[in-house]
Chains A and B, each alone.
Chain A
Amino acid sequence: MNRKIVAGLVVFLAVFLAGGAYVVISMESGSSRLDELIKLHQVENLREHYLVQIKRVQSDLALRNTRYSRTFDTVVADVVNMGRGVETCFQCHHSAAGESRLRELKDETEQYEEALSRVLTLRANESRLAAEEDNAFRRGEALMGKVRDMIAMTSARLGEKTHRSLEKIRNVKYVLYALFGISPLIAAGMAFAFLRGFGGSVKALRDATEKVKDGDLDQRVAGLRGEFGELAASFNQMADSLKDQMRTIRRTEQMVTLAELAAGLAHEIRNPIAGIKAAMKDLSREARLSEEDRNVVLQVLEEIAWLEALMRNFMNFAKPQRSAYAELNVNNMLDATLAFCLKHKGYGAAGWENVRIVKEYSPLPATAADPVQLQQVFLNLFLNAIDAMPAGGVLGIRTSVDESAKAIRVEISDTGRGTDDGASGSVSRPSAAASPNGTGLALTVSKLLIEKQGGTIGAVRIPDGGTVFTLRFPVRPPEQRAAS
């Protein structure tokens, strides 16, 4: 848009300057032509005046020795004025040819003056006087003829130049009229184009903003270009982000509600469970109890243990415990958790008999993490994998280091039936349980715990069967424990 504004301004300025320059040049040219015409008129007037002076001197000569003759001083003054007349012509600028013609004129004027001087000063017989007077008169007539020719030439040039100048001035006038007519149209057109470009884009953005404000988070802006296009892209990103955040907020609200419900339920159930558990333990130690009944009691105790674990998960989900970081090696933590599971095979409904464990550990750097929470996460994922493989399968455990991201990557895979929704990354809802016996809460708790440690967890369903959970959490140097 900036480019458009600048381009528009440049075009407008160029048009304005071009128009202004044309007007200035036209005025300059017109005034020059008028000036030239005025000068030509002046030249014509000077020559006319000069002709009148010559005529006056000729009449002085003709009236000489008559009763109408003018005084000697008057005649001298007339001749002097005539001489000044031709001198005046030299004050103007002339072409070389014009200068040459003027010099000829001046020479002839001087010859005429000499002849007149001769007539005025000569004292001789009548024939000599008459001859000198005739000579002077002839020179005067010749001079007048020459001046008349020059006047005719000047008049012709003046007429021609006047015609040409008027024609040019008329053309300039038409162009100026056109400019005066077209300029407002151009300005209005440019203003309309700008308003349309700006106004349309602003209106689209304003409408979209209004709709988002009214709750339509699916509103997007399309079809804009340039800076407005960039603004629309930012707006769309903002709307996407807003929509995600709204979804998260809603889910969080649901989770909080659920957690409060779960915590309340766990609190209410835990005490009776504790009483039942104590009673069952006492009963199991009863000597009179038959073996069959004892097994039943022990089975009840196992179920109670499962209920207690379930209660703990609820409690953790509702109110996760504060992290306590310690230096550890993730490979060791995996082994310790796996050993715990194998030792207490009661964890996991399906049992571990038909499960083959495949470990692919890469050397991992020591990192600072909460060992209890990390063990809880691994335990949840192991149990989830075992539950997903009731008929047995392969539990894969792979670790690696992502050097570029400075993160530890742990993949725990099974060859079971996969997560319920089969979508990757669906470990955030309690319902995403892999096991038909589980509540799915373990995965959600695992996600909360791993995120508390700055990590992520995702799940990918394998098309041939099974699921791969991928954990990624940052490598924290041990010295960061305190800070963490």
Chain B
Amino acid sequence: MKRPWILLGLCLALLAGCSDAGKTPAASRPPGRTLVIGLIPEQNIFKQIERYQPLATYLRAKTGIALKLKVLSRYGNIIDNFKSAGLDGAFFGSFTYAIAHARMGLTVLARPEDANGISTYYGVLFVRKDSRIRGAEAMRGKRFAFVDKATTAGYLLPLEYFRKNRIADYRTYFREAYFAGTHEDAIYDVLNRKADVGAAKSTVYERLAVADGRITRDLLILARSPEVPENGLAVRGDIEESIKIALKVALIDMDKDPAGREVLEAFGARRFIATTDSDYKPVFDYARDARIDLARYDYRND
């Protein structure tokens, strides 16, 4: 009498097993939806769109999640747009992520690693070699090109430099201090004598140096910041976990896929690596040293 019940039980177990096996794991194939992803103006904003669009297309093909890119006119806009324009995530700079994390509890997923295995950058402070400016004292009365108040390399580094060199208020110390908006413009402003001193991130500086020999030949780096994580993708904390996992897995596995490798090469990276808040510790430390309260910091440019 027991045998029929055992058989029924086995059949049910098999059916249950088959049913589970047929399901697509939520993590690997979430339901299709569109995420609006912000891009900071790290470089010429139109080149920035060109650089990130293939990556968005690849992620959509792999995950079914459409990424609508929204380029921003300034770094701090990301924080504003999360509230006003309904951004779901963004490729943050290290400082903007630190602010966003402090204020909105975002989750960072992954960041790129370059061909040399480096996934960090640092800020550089530079002048023209023929300017005779070799220190803070020589900068007095000159023109200073920041990038944005929400950048590590383009603002925090100079602030730290000013603090170390006892420059109390850069607005009065320099004849003119302005925000170029992009690292690229800050570099070219100094190179083209539109500014005397500039600050920018090392990865952009090095990328431009490869394309334009004048940068290495005519510019001189006076100071550099500690290394901070490269721009990574972070999403709102309330986004479904399955979407976060799908995006993270797709990014991290890109280098294992021939199509993904092609996209990575065009993007200028070897692969994406998993990233957590702990990777941003140098930024938090740097902000603390610069006496910046991330939760209250006014990132709007003057």
Contacts and interface: CB of A to CB of B under 8 A. Distances in A.
B180 A117 contact: no
Interface stretch (A73-81, A160-168, A202-210, A380-388): A73-81
Contact of B45 (A117, A125, A128): A117
A113 interface: yes
A118 B194 CA distance: 13
Given A73-B70, A76-B71, A118 B176 contact: no
Interface centre among A73, A76, A117, A128 (most CB of B within 10 A): A117
A122 B70 contact: no
B301 interface: yes
Contact of B185 (A76, A79, A122): A122
Contacts of A66: none
Interface string A239-265: 000000000000000000000000000
A117 B74 contact: no
A121 B178 contact: no
Given A72-B73, A76-B71, A122-B185, A117 B178 contact: no
B97 interface: no
A80 B180 contact: no
Contacts of A478: none
Contact of B180 (A72, A76, A122): A122
B181 A121 contact: yes
A123 B301 contact: yes
Contact of A125 (B176, B181, B185): B176
Interface in B42-83: 44-47, 49, 70-71, 73-74
Nearest to B176: A125
A122 B178 contact: yes
A118 B185 contact: yes
Contact of A117 (B44, B70, B194): B44
Contacts of A287: none
Contacts of B45: 76, 117, 120-121
A113 B43 CA distance: 12
A76 B70 CA distance: 9
Interface centre among B46, B47, B49 (most CB of A within 10 A): B46
Contacts of A114: 44, 46
A83 interface: yes
Interface in A275-311: none
A124 B74 CA distance: 13
Contact of B74 (A73, A79, A113, A123): A123
A79 B41 CA distance: 15
Contacts, number: 61
Contact of B46 (A72, A73, A83, A128): A83
Given A72-B73, A76-B71, A123 B49 contact: no
Interface in A64-111: 72-73, 76, 79-80, 83
Contacts of A116: 46
Contacts of A113: 44, 46-47
Interface string B28-51: 000000000000010011110100
B182 interface: yes
A373 B133 CA distance: 156
A122 B46 contact: no
Given A80-B49, A123-B301, A128 B71 contact: no
Nearest to B302: A123
A121 B46 contact: no
B71 to A, nearest CB: 6
A114 B50 CA distance: 13
B176 A120 contact: no
A122 B44 contact: no
B271 to A, nearest CB: 28
Interface centre among A73, A83, A120, A124 (most CB of B within 10 A): A124
Contacts of B41: 117, 121
A120 B73 CA distance: 6
Contacts of B95: none
Contacts of B181: 117-118, 120-123
Contacts of B182: 117-118, 121
Interface of A: 72-73, 76, 79-80, 83, 113-114, 116-118, 120-125, 128
7 contacts: A73-B70, A121-B73, A122-B180, A123-B178, A123-B301, A124-B179, A128-B178
Given A83-B46, A117-B45, 11 more contacts: A72-B73, A76-B45, A113-B47, A114-B44, A116-B46, A118-B180, A118-B181, A121-B181, A121-B182, A122-B181, A128-B178
Rank and list the top 9 A-B pairs by shortest CB-CB distance, nearest first: A121-B181, A124-B178, A123-B179, A123-B301, A117-B44, A113-B46, A117-B45, A121-B41, A122-B181
